[in-house]
Structure 1
Amino acid sequence: MKVFRRLILAIGMFGLVYNCAQVKKSRTIKLAHGLDVNHSVHKAMVKMGEDLVKISGGKMQLEIYPSQQLGTERECIELLQIGSLDMTKVSVGVMENFAPHMKVFGLPYLFKDRAHSFRVLDGAIGQELLDEGIQYWIKGLAYYDAGSRSFYTKDKPIRTPDDLKGLKIRVMESVTAMDMVKSLGGSPTPISWGELYTSLQQGVVDGAENNPPSFYLSRHYEVCKYYALDEHTVLPDVLIIGTHIWNRLTEQEKQWLKQAVDASVVYQRKLWAEAEKEALEEVQKAGVTVIRPDKELFSKEVEAVYSLYEQEEDIRELIERIKDYN
């Protein structure tokens, strides 16, 4: 009887050890971002997590923290650099502080159209820029669509560049964005995304600039009743991973993750197109006046911004490569 009990105990212990080993074989990647759970990027990340579990047979999974639960975009990058966070999504405008050549995307009217921007992002140039942050412990994985950015204001409609003169416009922590607003006569004011609604309410700034879904989901339309679709910049979102975790992944795990990421990009771009249409419809229902100004007027005013950046030989060459990219 004692021998039998010992055998049962041994089998039980083996099962416990085996199960613990199986648990250890499952790798959880912590991903944080600052967007609302209804945003197309968050939905794409949820799909990415589901796909990753399927592709890896349960050996890899994502743990997602949306809505700035772990901090602003810049704070998430810093957490990623020290190894306290594995992955995050940031605007390319924020990334230029960590991958300097990415500032080229902040130049206004750089792309011919949306299709041109996708060709650049998905091609050799896009990949070069994704890899630039490796020296800062950041590896870029992919670009999510964030549409075109346009101005929205509280009290004054923007129909020409002259209408921006003297207005305090919220921008990201991006030198390129600041230079662009200055060239149009506005006063650029960096404020974190999470603080912007209150800043608009209290008159800290007169307006901001962003894409239609962000304008809608942030509920900034409750404060700002004018939206001018000048579409000055195309700033994609960038999905990044810390090199601390990337370098620990096996080649198989990297393949699984990249496959899930690539599928999420296709899904997100489809959702984005639908979200843009819905956002413009909904803000107009809420009383926002949507203005479609002459983009040529704005394009001419921002030419001076290019002269600032073309003084750097590598940036000048990058601008030429992007404009000539087919």
Structure 2
Amino acid sequence: MKKLRSFLSFTLLVICALILTSCGKEENKRIIRISHNQAQDHPTNIGLMAFEEFIESKLGDKYDVQIFPNELLGSQVNTVELTQTGAIDFAVASNAILESFDNIYQIFNLPYLFDSPEHYHTVMDNKELIEPIFTSTEKSGFEAVTWLDAGTRNFYTVKKPIKTPADLKGLKIRVQQSASNIRMMDLFGGAATPMGFGEVYTALQQSVIDGAENNELALTSNKHGEVAKFYSYNMHQMVPDILIGNLKFLNSLSSQEREIFNEGFILISKVQRDAWEDSVEKAKIHAEKDMKVQFIYPDVALFKEKVIPLHQEILDATPKLKPIYEQIQKIGKQMKEDK
């Protein structure tokens, strides 16, 4: 009951904020609100801005797209719930959060699921394979409309570099809030500390945690490199971020409007991915030169052997993942043969 009251209070505050941001807008336009937790210079925001421009160029007489970066409308957990209720229309969600709505999303949290970024991108662009996953949350009031590249996830720490899995022993490492990520950290030998992304900087600064795991942009765009000085390329995951949309809103679109929105969703992914590689390179240079972050390249095989048993654990516990897993492996094998 306390948690419900807290969420309702938060929702009321968000709705008040949304009303204030709507002042001065043309009354005949439907405002479309999109929330995410990244900075304004992040590829995710760049992709969403392209979507805003595209939708308003096609349907600007009817829709006003508003983007809220930096967790302005709350954490990802909060904004997923707000998207469910229709208080906002779209939110970028981590795969780990979506796992709590349908465990089919566990598939992407498997460490070392993909052989390479090319394998990862090919799988995510396979509509036949991905669409059943994206529509699995319809019963919860939302569905996924596109995916966003989030690079590779690696460990970064405050006081000591991670060169082997043994270096993780006894360290409190922030992980995303999902059972499979907690189990992964257990297998690595560290102490999993689930928390929202917006809490990580302060937790690192105050030694609540010893490190975290994420892509390079966390160091610069989110300033974690001001505190964490060691970044180790163990490359344990390639996990997409997912843009979800309120199902009631999506179903309210005419067939012509939905076709335009679908074009816009494709545009988000394209623009975001085009910006990703350049942003990562700039982040590495900034982190190394200005933040004095040390980049480490350990033997990935040492890390992989620690967590590969998680594949079978998850497949045994969730049999519906097996055909998806087998298809992903088949695609990877074919790509190797085609080289």
Tell me if structure 2 keeps the 8 A contact 1:83–1:242.
Answer: yes
Q: Distance in 2 between matches of 1:77 and 1:313?
A: 26
Residue matched to 1:105:
108
Residue matched to 2:213:
209
Residue matched to 2:68:
65
Residue matched to 1:245:
249
Q: Distance in 2 between matches of 1:179 and 1:209?
A: 14
Residue matched to 1:171:
175
Alignment pair present for 1:289 and 2:294 = yes
Q: 1:161 aligns with which of 137, 142, 165?
A: 165
1:24 CA drift (Å): 6.0
Tell me if structure 1 keeps the 8 A contact 2:219–2:226.
Answer: no
Tell me if structure 2 keeps the 8 A contact 1:309–1:316.
Answer: no
Residue matched to 1:42:
45
1:215 CA drift (Å): 2.3
Aligned AA for 1:300? Answer: E
Q: 1:315 aligns with which of 313, 321, 324?
A: 321
Residue matched to 1:27:
30
Residue matched to 1:234:
238
**Kindly, what percent of the aligned residue pairs are identical?**
32
Q: Distance in 2 between matches of 1:110 and 1:71?
A: 31
1:45 CA drift (Å): 0.5
Aligned AA for 2:83? Answer: L
Alignment pair present for 1:186 and 2:193 = no
1:176 CA drift (Å): 1.4
Q: 1:264 aligns with which of 250, 264, 268?
A: 268
Q: Distance in 2 between matches of 1:154 and 1:58?
A: 51
Q: Which runs of 4+ in 1 moved over 4 A?
A: none
CA deviations on 1:10-65 (whole Å, 9 max, x unpaired) are xxxxxxxxxxxxx5663321111111111110111011100111122533331111
Aligned AA for 1:299? Answer: K
1:75 CA drift (Å): 0.5
1:100 CA drift (Å): 1.5
Alignment pair present for 1:144 and 2:148 = yes
Tell me if structure 1 keeps the 8 A contact 2:35–2:90.
Answer: yes
Could you list the runs of 5+ residues in structure 2 that have no partner in the other structure?
1-25, 335-339
Aligned AA for 1:134? Answer: E
Tell me if structure 2 keeps the 8 A contact 1:121–1:127.
Answer: no
Could you list the runs of 5+ residues in structure 1 that have no partner in the other structure?
1-22
CA deviations on 1:107-146 (whole Å, 9 max, x unpaired) are 1110111111111111122222111111111111000110
CA deviations on 1:223-264 (whole Å, 9 max, x unpaired) are 111000111001111011011211111111111111112112
Tell me if structure 2 keeps the 8 A contact 1:142–1:262.
Answer: yes
Q: Distance in 1 between matches of 2:268 and 2:293?
A: 32
Q: Distance in 1 between matches of 2:81 and 2:287?
A: 34
Residue matched to 1:218:
222
**What is the root-mean-square deviation of aligned Cα atoms in Å?**
1.3
Q: Distance in 2 between matches of 1:97 and 1:135?
A: 13
Secondary structure of residue in 2 paired with 1:273: helix
Aligned AA for 1:301? Answer: K
Alignment pair present for 1:304 and 2:286 = no
Residue matched to 2:330:
324
Q: Distance in 2 between matches of 1:284 and 1:131?
A: 41
Q: How many residues are matched?
A: 304
Secondary structure of residue in 1 paired with 2:41: coil
Q: Distance in 2 between matches of 1:67 and 1:189?
A: 22
1:304 CA drift (Å): 2.1
Secondary structure of residue in 2 paired with 1:132: coil
Q: Distance in 1 between matches of 2:65 and 2:98?
A: 22
Residue matched to 1:125:
129
